[in-house]
Amino acid sequence: MTRPDLDILDLVPVNEGSTPAAAIAATVDLAQHVERWGYRRYWMAEHHNMTGVASSATAVLIGHVADRTTSIRVGAGGVMLPNHAPYIVAEQFGTLATIHDGRVDLGLGRAPGTDPQTARALRRDTRAALDFATEVQELQGYLGDADPSAPVRAVPGEGTHVPLWILGSSHGGAQVAAALGLPYSFASHFAPRMLMSALEVYRTRFQPSTGPGGPTAPRTMAGANVMVADTEAQARRLFTSVLSRFHDIVTGRRGGVQTPGDSMESVLAAWSPAEQAAVLDMVRVSFVGTPGQVRDALQEFTAATGVDEVILTCGAHDHEARLRSYELLAEAWL
């Protein structure tokens, strides 16, 4: 049986006391390494007004990473479409696809990826999220076959047929992906609760795509946190930085990635029971341990979900630990 593909989701994390420049340099280095190790995709996600995340200008970063790699697929996981006019997204990703022919993916989300105040600063109508499917179709039109009679044309863009994915953490995205015949990626790395039911909605309602290059059968991806080290104790300690980051989300803190704590138990013990429960619920789809432990857990996960790809994010504070985590997993899986 062929194992599902493994992909990378990079939030371009900024460590506490470090800089966005250092985070971007680490992203390029990581992309070059995982390309050699055999991972299929390298995606970056749009976030705004977060001092611990440097991926706000997602299309710019995708171009930067694609310029410095040669074969790995590079893309957005994703662009939050309500923040942007579909036409602008078509021009940006049409340009990327023209420069890097055949290597660019475009994942689309319906959330703003930020707080309400920042969403207003982005100067887009918040009602756009309510008409997400129509905006996706508009974007598809700009990236589809060239139409000389069209009053508005994306150049570059038209004829590139940039592969689109719909992202989601609920049934809404699953329904849009199924209706439009597009691949679907579920954000189980931070919102796992509806994973199985959303996959079921998508698969049962899927309408095969009639456009060039579109899937004729459902194609699914699920997100997961991962931390791999030579020993289980080491992996669990490194994972405390991930727990702290989710605790920041739960408590509204906007800092950078923190250094590891002494142990998972000691970090959790410092929080209230409600905070502990919220964080542990968010990180339920996490694989932490030795290469063999994580490989076996991933096999169980992919067998249970039936996903075609797993997109992994490693929130280690230390760049070398993050590299080592992906390297060890590649040796065990790919």
Taking only the tens place, the pLDDT of each residue in 75-129 is 999 999 989 999 999 999 999 999 998 899 999 999 866 677 877 787 666 666 6
Question: Tokens at residue 317, please?
Answer: 């504070």
Do 241 and 191 fall into the same domain? no
Do 168 and 270 fall into the same domain? no
Which pLDDT score, from 0 to 100, does residue 117 have? 81
Helix or strand run (H / E) with residue 202: helix 195-205
CATH of residue 64: 3.20.20.30
Q: Rounded mean pLDDT of 297-325? A: 98
Residues 38-76, buried b or exposed e (16+ Cβ, 10 A)? ebbbbbbbbbbebebbbbbebbebbbbbbeebeebbbbb
d(CA 50, CA 55): 9
Backbone angles phi, psi at 269, to 5 degrees: -65, -20
Do 192 and 226 fall into the same domain? no
Do 300 and 269 fall into the same domain? yes
State whether the Cα torsion 84-255-23-17 is positive or negative: positive
Beta strands in 121-202 (DSSP E): 164-168, 184-186
Of the pLDDT bands very low, low, confident and very high (cuts 50, 70, 90), residue 246 is very high
d(CA 287, CA 277): 18
State the total domains in the chain.
2
Residue 70 predicted with pLDDT over 60: yes
Range of the domain at 318: 5-221+305-333
Helix or strand run (H / E) with residue 155: none
Which pLDDT score, from 0 to 100, does residue 212 have? 66
Do 189 and 243 fall into the same domain? no
Find out whether 274 and 250 touch, Cβ atoms under 8 Å: no
Tell me the pLDDT of the chain averaged across its residues.
Answer: 94
Do 44 and 138 fall into the same domain? yes
Which pLDDT score, from 0 to 100, does residue 94 have? 98
**Could you tell me which residues come within 8 angstroms of residue 320 by beta carbon, excluding any fewer than 6 positions away?**
none
Quote the crossing angle between the two packed helices 20-37 and 319-333, to the nearest 10°: 20
d(CA 229, CA 322): 9
Residue 41 predicted with pLDDT over 80: yes
Quick: pLDDT tens for 278-300. 999 999 999 999 999 999 999 99
Do 226 and 214 fall into the same domain? no
Do 257 and 166 fall into the same domain? no
More confident residue, 45 or 120: 45
Which pLDDT score, from 0 to 100, does residue 211 have? 67
Which pLDDT score, from 0 to 100, does residue 128 have? 62
CA dist 95 to 40, 88, 274, 330, Å? Answer: 22, 11, 46, 32
Of the pLDDT bands very low, low, confident and very high (cuts 50, 70, 90), residue 214 is confident
- From first CA to last CA, the distance across the chain in angstroms is 13
Which pLDDT score, from 0 to 100, does residue 125 have? 66
Do 138 and 232 fall into the same domain? no
Within 10 angstroms of residue 249's Cβ, the number of other Cβ atoms is: 14
Do 288 and 215 fall into the same domain? no
Question: Tokens at residue 101, please?
Answer: 């022919």
Do 92 and 107 fall into the same domain? yes
Closest CA to 72 of 107, 114, 43: 43
Quick: pLDDT tens for 158-213. 999 999 999 999 999 999 999 999 999 999 999 999 999 999 999 999 999 876 66
d(CA 225, CA 63): 25
Do 290 and 182 fall into the same domain? no
